[in-house]
Structure 1
Amino acid sequence: MRAWSFVWFVLAAGTCVAPSAVADSKPGDRIALLIGNAQYPDSDTPLTTPVQDVRAVGAALQRRGYAVDLAENVGKRAMQDALSNFFGKIKSGSDVLIYFSGYGIQSNDKNYMVPIDGQIWSEADLRRDGVTVDSVMTEIDRRGADAKVVILDAANRNPFERRFRGYSTGLVAVNDPPANTLMMYSTAPKTMLRQGSGTRSVFADELVGSIGGDGISRAAFDKVRAGVSAATQGAQVPWIVSTLKESSGGWTDPRPVPSKPPRNPVEAGRLPDPPKPVEPTRQETAKQEAAKQEVTKQEILKQEAAKPETVRQDSAKLEPPKPTTGPAADPAGDFAAAKRANTRQAYQDFVARHPTGAWSERARAEIDRIDAAVKPAAVDIQVLTYSREDLRMKAELDRAIERNPGDAGALYRRGQLHAIHREFQLALADFDEVIRLNPQDVEALNNRCWVRAMVEELDRALRDCNEALKLRPNFADALDSRGLVNLKIGMAGMAVRDYDAALRGNGKQASSLYGRGLARLRSGDTQEGNSDISDALAMDPGIAKEFARYGIR
C-alpha cells in the first residue's frame, strides 16, 4: 500500500511578501504555502501573532522535509497569486500543506479568508473580496492531492462582520469535506477566539511542538487539540472533522524524517528571508525560567550567608514563612502570578498552596476585595401582574392539578408561570413536586436551578444545574443557568467557561452572551467583555435590565 499524501490548510492570523518560485514538484514531494495576515488597516487592534506563527510552523515543516513558501500580510491580488503559484506545483502524489493565519468570516455556510485590503461592508462585499475555503479545497482536490488536511485558525473577532451583523458568528463546520480529507478548526465552529497578546498563539505553539514530535500525523493533530484545550483550561478546544480512508484513527506518516537536513531555504529560493531562530516552545520556556529562578535562589542564599548573623535574622523576619511540607515553594512568584490573573480562583489556589504567612493574608484580602465588588444586588422580587390570558391559563392548570395531583406536565407549566411572574416560592414548590415524581426530569432541574439562584440558594442551585448537565451534557439552557449561578457566587472564570459552552450549543442566546461579557469584565478582560455586552444588546436591548432584576449589574 503506497504512502498517503497530505494536504494541510491552517487558517490563523499575518507585510506582503510574495512567495518565491521553486522547481515543479514530483510525485511524493512535500510542498507548503504559509500565509499570515495581521496588518488589517480597518482593525483597531491589529493581530499580533500571525507572522511569527507562520514562520515558526514553516521552520518546523522545513525540518520535516517540506519546501516552504511564505506570504505575509497579503492583499487579495497577492493572495490569489500565491495560491495560483502553489496550485501549479501540486502533482498527483505530492504532500501538500497550506497554512493561513488571519481574519475569517462565514456566510451562507461558507468560510472566507479575508485579505488585508478587503473592503467589506456587506455580505456581497465578502463574496467579492474574500477567498473561500471551499474553492481552495476544490482546486487542491482537482490537482490530484490524495489526502487533504484543512486546519482553520481564523476565528478572531474581526472589524468587518459588525458592519453587516449585530454579532459575530465564528466559522462554520464543513460536514462534507472532499474524500480523504481532515479538517481542523483551532476552536469549535460558531465560537470566537479572544485575541492573544503574545508573539505566538497557543495553537501555533502546540502545532510546532506536535510536528516536531510526531511529524505530520493524526496523532499530532490529536495532541494539538489536547494541548490547546489544557493550556486554555477548556476555553479553546480545537475541532476535527475527517473523511480519511483509515477509519481506525491510526493514520500516520509512514516515511521517516530525512536524516540529511533540507537545503538552505534561501539558497533554494523557497523563503523570501533567512529563517529567524525558532522561538522556544512554552515547555522549553518554562524550563528556562525554572533554571533562572534556581540560579537566582542560589545567589540569594550566597548573599544571605555572607551577611552577619544579626542581619540574617532581621531579614528572616521580613520573609513570609515557607511551607514546611511538599516541594520548595516561591510565594512571591506565585502571588505575582495570581495578581496577573486577578481572579478569585487564582487567589484561592494561592491560599491552598500557601495557607499561612504574609502572602497568604494578602491573597485573602484580594479575595475579600473581589467578593465585595461582585456581591450581587438584591433580586427584584416584586410580583408581576398577571395578564388576563395568564390568569386563564393558571386557572386551567390549577383545575388539572386538582383532578390529578400527579400531573407532572401541569405542575411544570404552572411552575414556569409562577417563575415568570416572580412568585419564586410557589415555583419552587411546583418544581420540587415534578422532580419528586421524576428525579431525572432535566428541564425541571434546570428551572429549579434558576429559581434557586433568584432566591439566593446558590449552593443548592449549583447542585441542580450539575445534576441536569450530568443527565444531559452540553444542555445549553442548563449551562446558561449555571453560568448565572457562578456569576452570582463570584466565580467569574467558571462563569465564562459555562457561557462559552452554552454559546456553542446556542450562539444566538443573548443571556449567555451578556452573562459572559459581565464575567469577562470581572476577570479583567475589558475589551472582550464590552464586545460581548455590545453584541448581546444588539440581539436583545432589554437584556441589561433583565440581569439587573437578577441582582447582577
Structure 2
Amino acid sequence: MRTTIALLLAGLIAVCAGTTSRAADAAKLALVIGNAKYPDNEFVLNDAANDAQAVADELKRDGFVVDRQTNLTGDAMRQALDRFYARIERGAVALIFFDGFGIQSNRQTYLLPVDAQIWVEPDVSRDGFSLDAILAEMNTRGAAIKIALIDASRRNPFERRFRRYSAGLAPAIAPSNSLVLYSSALGAVAPTGKTDHSLFVAELLREMRAPSISAEQALTNTKNGVVAATNREQVPWLSSSLTTEFSFAGLVARPPDNATADPAPTKPAPQKPVCEVPQAEPTPSADDLARDPVIADLSRKIAANANDAVSRYKRGQVYAIKRAHTLAMQDFDAVIRRDPRDAQALNNRCWTRAATGDLQGALADCNLALQLDPGLSDAFDSRGLVNLKLGRTTEAIKDYTDAIQRNPRSSSSLFGRGIATRRSGGDGASNIALAKSMDPNIAKEFAGYGVTECVP
C-alpha cells in the first residue's frame, strides 16, 4: 500500500477577504466500502453491508458520484482506492465511508480487508490500509474537503491474537480542511451483535438529510444523537479542521454574526446498579468449531506436519478465544512439551486454566512465564485473574497495576483491578467505568471467567 506524506492544502476555491469559502459547486466523489464477510469472524456483519448501501444511496441523492464496494480483499481494496484517487480533481469534495473491522497499531488506524491475515502486530501494517495515508493521498490529489466516516470501532477476531485488550481506533492525523468521524471514542469499541443496521449510521443518515446545516454540524449532531440514545455508553469521536462551507443536503443557513447556539441538551445518565451479572457467551458446539474456516485451515496444516508448533499455537489461541478451553489446553500442552521455555504459550495456558478453574496450575504457568520474561504484561494480567479468583485481592491489584503500567489501554487489567479493589473494600468504580468505556463487552468477558461485579 502506498503511503504519502500529507502536503499543505492546495486548490481551495478563491474567497473574498473576510468571508468563508464555499464548496457548493465542487465535484463530489465518494468511496463507500462495506466489509461484512470476514472468514475469521464467527458471523457476517450484516449491518456493515446494509449500512454501506444506505450511505451510498444517500450520498447519491446529495449529488456525490459514488463507488460502492463490498467484501473487498486486500488487492481489491487497493484497486478501489487507486480508482478513487484518480478521480479526484482540484477543489473536489472527497469522502470515504468504511464499515467493517479496524485496528490501531503504532498510533495509526488501519482499515482491514476481508482476507487480512493477522497473527502478530506487524501484520496489521502489512495487510491493513492506514487511514492517515488515505487522507493524505486525498489531499495530495487536490481535494479541497476531505471527509472520512469510519464505522469500524468493533471488537474483532484479529486483535486478541496479539493483545489481551481492545485498543479501539487511534486519532487520525488529517490534513487541513478535513472532517473525520468514528463511531466510538478513541481507544474504545462499540457494542457488537447480529444487527441489520447500526445506531451510528442511523443517526448519521438522519443528520445528513437535514437541510440547511453544515456538514460539521451534521456530524456533531450525529455524535450527540448516539450519546443520548446510548446514555453516554457510546461516544463517537469527531475531528474537524473544516474552513470551507459545505452541507450534505443543501446550502448552509448562516446564523447572524451575534448568534450563539445553545448546546444540545443531553439526557442524564441513569444510575446503574452496583452489581451487574451479564450473561456469559455460550461455548460453541463441536459443529460450530468444525465449520470455522480459520480452525479448519490450521488443522489441515497440523495434519500435514505434526511438528508445526506455530499452527498449533495459533489454533490454541483461536480455541481459547472461542471458549473451547479443553481443545485450547491440548494445543498449548503440545507447544510447551516441544519448548518448555515458551513464555507466551505458558501465559496462554495460564489464562485458559484460570478460565476453567484450574487455579493452582494456572498460577504455576504464570509464575514460570514471568520468570522467563519478567516484562510480559499479558502474564501479569493473566496472573491478576488467577489471584482474583483465588480471593487474593492484594496480589491481584498488584499484578493488574504492573500490567497497566506496561499497557495503560488494557481494558482487562483495568476492569480486573476495579473488581479486586471493590472486593478489598475500596471503590474501584473509576477503573470499571474506564474499562467499560474502552470495551463495552468486558463485563460479559469476565462473566465467562466466573467473575462479576458482585461483591461476594
Interval of TM-score (by shorter of Structure 1 and Structure 2): 0.5 to 0.7
- Which residues of 2 match residues 165-184 of structure 1 at below 5 A? 165-174=163-172, 176-184=173-181
In the alignment, the residues of structure 2 paired with residue 144 and residue 197 of structure 1 have an alpha-carbon distance, to the nearest angstrom, of 39
Q: CA deviation at 1:185?
A: 1.4
CA contact (8 A) 1:118 1:130 kept: yes
Match of 2:222 in 1: 224
- Which residues of 2 match residues 72-111 of structure 1 at below 5 A? 72-111=70-109
In the alignment, the residues of structure 2 paired with residue 452 and residue 256 of structure 1 have an alpha-carbon distance, to the nearest angstrom, of 54
Rg larger in structure: 1
CA contact (8 A) 1:41 1:116 kept: yes
Say if 1:104 and 1:158 are closer, same or farther in 2 by CA, change over 3 A. same
TM-score, normalising length: structure 1: 0.45
180, 200, 204: which one aligns with 2:201: 204
CA contact (8 A) 2:30 2:96 kept: yes
Tell me whether 1:55 sits opposite 2:77 in the alignment: no
Q: CA deviation at 1:149?
A: 2.4
Match of 2:455 in 1: 552
Q: CA deviation at 1:123?
A: 1.7
Match of 1:479 in 2: 430
131, 134, 143: which one aligns with 1:133: 131
Say if 1:4 and 1:106 are closer, same or farther in 2 by CA, change over 3 A. farther
Q: CA deviation at 1:52?
A: 0.8
CA contact (8 A) 1:225 1:239 kept: yes
Q: CA deviation at 1:516?
A: 6.8
In the alignment, the residues of structure 1 paired with residue 161 and residue 248 of structure 2 have an alpha-carbon distance, to the nearest angstrom, of 48
Tell me whether 1:213 sits opposite 2:210 in the alignment: yes
Say if 1:68 and 1:126 are closer, same or farther in 2 by CA, change over 3 A. same
Higher relative contact order (CA 8 A, sep 6+): 2
SS of the residue 2:72 aligns to: coil
CA contact (8 A) 2:226 2:236 kept: yes
Please, what is the CA RMSD of the aligned residues?
A: 3.5
CA contact (8 A) 2:209 2:249 kept: no
For residues 353-397 of structure 1, what are the alpha-carbon distances to aligned partners after superposition, in whole Å with 9 as ceiling and x for unaligned? xxxxxxxxxxxxxxxxxxxxxxxxxxxxxxxxxxxxxxxxxxxxx
CA contact (8 A) 2:216 2:240 kept: no
For residues 170-228 of structure 1, what are the alpha-carbon distances to aligned partners after superposition, in whole Å with 9 as ceiling and x for unaligned? 11123x42112222111101011121332110011111111111466111011101111
* Count of residues in correspondence between the two structures: 277
SS of the residue 1:203 aligns to: helix
For residues 93-143 of structure 1, what are the alpha-carbon distances to aligned partners after superposition, in whole Å with 9 as ceiling and x for unaligned? 111111111000010001111100111111222221111111111110101
Match of 2:265 in 1: none
For residues 468-505 of structure 1, what are the alpha-carbon distances to aligned partners after superposition, in whole Å with 9 as ceiling and x for unaligned? xxxxxxxxx6523xx5xxxxxxxxxxxxxxx2x4555x
CA contact (8 A) 1:188 1:236 kept: yes
SS of the residue 1:54 aligns to: helix
In the alignment, the residues of structure 1 paired with residue 85 and residue 423 of structure 2 have an alpha-carbon distance, to the nearest angstrom, of 59
CA contact (8 A) 1:5 1:145 kept: no
Q: CA deviation at 1:45?
A: 2.5
Q: CA deviation at 1:252?
A: 4.5
Tell me whether 1:190 sits opposite 2:187 in the alignment: yes
136, 148, 151: which one aligns with 1:150: 148
In the alignment, the residues of structure 2 paired with residue 254 and residue 133 of structure 1 have an alpha-carbon distance, to the nearest angstrom, of 22
Match of 2:317 in 1: none
CA contact (8 A) 2:153 2:188 kept: yes
109, 118, 121: which one aligns with 1:120: 118
228, 247, 254: which one aligns with 1:253: 247
CA contact (8 A) 1:181 1:242 kept: yes
Structure 1, unpaired ranges of 5+: 7-26, 258-342, 346-418, 422-448, 466-476, 484-498, 508-512, 519-528, 538-542
Structure 2, unpaired ranges of 5+: 1-14, 252-271, 275-392, 396-417
SS of the residue 2:79 aligns to: helix
Q: Could you tell me which amino acid in structure 1 is paired with residue 123 of structure 2?
A: D
